[in-house]
Amino acid sequence: MEEKCCETGTDISRVTMILACSGGSNVGQLANQTAIELSSEGYGKMSCLAGVGGHLSGFVQSARDVDRLVLIDGCEKGCGKAIFEHLEIPIKTYLVITELGIEKNKDFKLKREEIDRVKNAVKDASMTQSESFTDISAGCSCS
Amino acid sequence: MEIKILGPGCPKCQQTEKAVREALEEAGVQANVEKVKDTMEIANYGVFGTPAVVIDGEVKSVGKIPKKGDILSWIKK
């Protein structure tokens, strides 16, 4: 039972939650694609920003209780940040893609170079704050 | 009051249930406490990890054993 628990659970003290804008622009979708790829590669686990914004208690409380969280906004409008400020959830690590020098436009054919640039920026931002991404294969919190 | 303890049954899940039951007894509050072990049902709550505590449909704690003081504040309306 305990082994099964550790195979299926998520130890939130060891996993970075990744929340990303998914707005109607290249930078919104770069944020989303970055979250997808970092999750797939084991650098954290993507959660649902819309769920937080919709005040769904599971998503809101998870964002409050998780130890490590990266919030990625596409542009300076800061919709993700606004959600967190509205709900008074502290932002641990925050990134705005346009501040990386990527211009906002309506071209949804994302550039691989830009996706990789954002991914590296997210990793660097987390490292700078003495956080490190942990393999999501970390088990449940019953350590 | 309906309380659900979400988790597959690990030691922290058990400790969470114990903490909740002790708080209920201390506060003299009646509640139906249910353990939810099914992973699909747990996922439906949108929680990022377990154990998690849900009180009357609202998630109160995720991924940790809640403190007694916090539990008491949730169950004393």
Q: What is the pLDDT of residues A27-72, one digit of tens each?
A: 999 999 999 999 999 999 999 999 999 999 999 999 999 999 999 9
Which residue from A minimizes the CA distance to B6? A9
Q: How many domains does chain B have?
A: 1
Q: Which residue has the tokens 């504040």?
A: B73
B48·A45 Cβ contact <8 A: yes
A140 pLDDT more than 80: no
Q: Are B40 and A131 in contact (CB under 8 A)?
A: no
Supply the ipTM of this predicted assembly: 0.93
Query: Is A3 at the interface with chain B, CB within 8 A?
Result: no
Task: Read off the pLDDT of residues B58-71 as tens digits, 9 standing for 90 and up.
Answer: 999 999 999 999 99
Split at pLDDT 50, 70, 90, the class of A10 is: low
How buried is residue B2: exposed, middle or buried, by Cβ count under 10 Å (0-12/13-18/19+)?
Answer: exposed
| Residue B59 structural domain | 2-75
Number of A/B CB contacts below 8 angstroms equals 97
CB within 8 Å: B48 and A60: no
Flag if B49 and A57 touch (Cβ within 8 Å). no
Whose tokens are 């705005």? That residue is A96
Q: Sorting pLDDT into bands at 50, 70 and 90, what band is B36?
A: very high
| Residue B15's CATH number | 3.40.30.10
Which residue numbers of B have CB closer than 8 Å to A's CBs? 7-13, 39, 45-52, 54, 57-64
Chain A residues inside the 8 Å CB shell of B57: 57
